[in-house]
Amino acid sequence: MAQGSRRASTALHAYVLAHNPPLDPVQRELIDRTRTELPDHAPMQVAQEQGPLLAFLARLIGARRVVEVGTFTGLSTLFLAQALPPDGTLLACDVSEEWTAYGRTAWQEAGVADRIDLRIAPALQTLRALPAEPHVDLAFIDADKPGYLGYWEELVPRIRPGGLIVADNVCYGGEVLDPARASTEGAAIHAFNERVRADTRVESVFLEIADGLTLARRREE
């Protein structure tokens, strides 16, 4: 990419952010703390433009029961929990006490900690323990890439008709274009994308937002 194109891209991204809902103080502090205190891992945080989209989707479908696979420092969790009604619940799955501690602090400050059930355990274990019938309104997958297929297979039967599964990083930096040369993670995302596209239980769209988002709606039965 030419230097001028990079500048235009940066300016356009700033324009996009400026035309999205502004961050509240807790959201901004969590982003800044993650970038400052965990600089090597900060790219794992959802893109700033994705948070308002997740909240918008939750409100759009009237979500009351949300499952998140991969919490990191809890920014996506925060956006989703803030979009829920007071009696809504968000089950957050992660394996790191250290990283999710950042989220716990932010959720408390935002007044939504009572809506969040954080489970520190392998996500498949947590998902398999959920009731098998469709009862989840929205699920967000943003965790270890080789695990995506397993999470998908556990979540789809539990999503109520009309509910959504949102999956992050489905472009995986372009590695999905050539799975033969991709990393283990890139090849796993390629396989995940093919599974979603072929899955007749859902209708899905693939969006080039940040590193790619798939939105899949559970079909009416």
Write the CATH number for 108.
3.40.50.150
Q: Using alpha carbons, list the distances in angstroms from residue 206 to 33, 104, 212, 214.
A: 31, 31, 7, 5
Report, in angstroms and rounded to the nearest whole number, the Rg of the chain calculated over CA atoms: 17
pLDDT 10s digits, 141-178 = 999 999 999 999 999 999 999 999 999 999 999 999 99
Tell me which residue range forms the domain holding 12.
3-218
For residue 93, the cross-strand partners are 69, 119
Asked if 132 and 59 count as a contact pair (C-beta separation under 8 A), the reply is: no
pLDDT of residue 8: 55
Residue 6 has pLDDT above 80, yes or no: no
| Cα angle value 212/214/217 (rounded, 5°) | 165
For residue 217, the cross-strand partners are 164, 203
Residue 37 has pLDDT above 70, yes or no: yes
pLDDT 10s digits, 46-86 = 999 999 999 999 999 999 999 999 999 999 999 999 999 99
Domain count, the chain: 1
**What is the percent of the chain where pLDDT is above 70?**
96
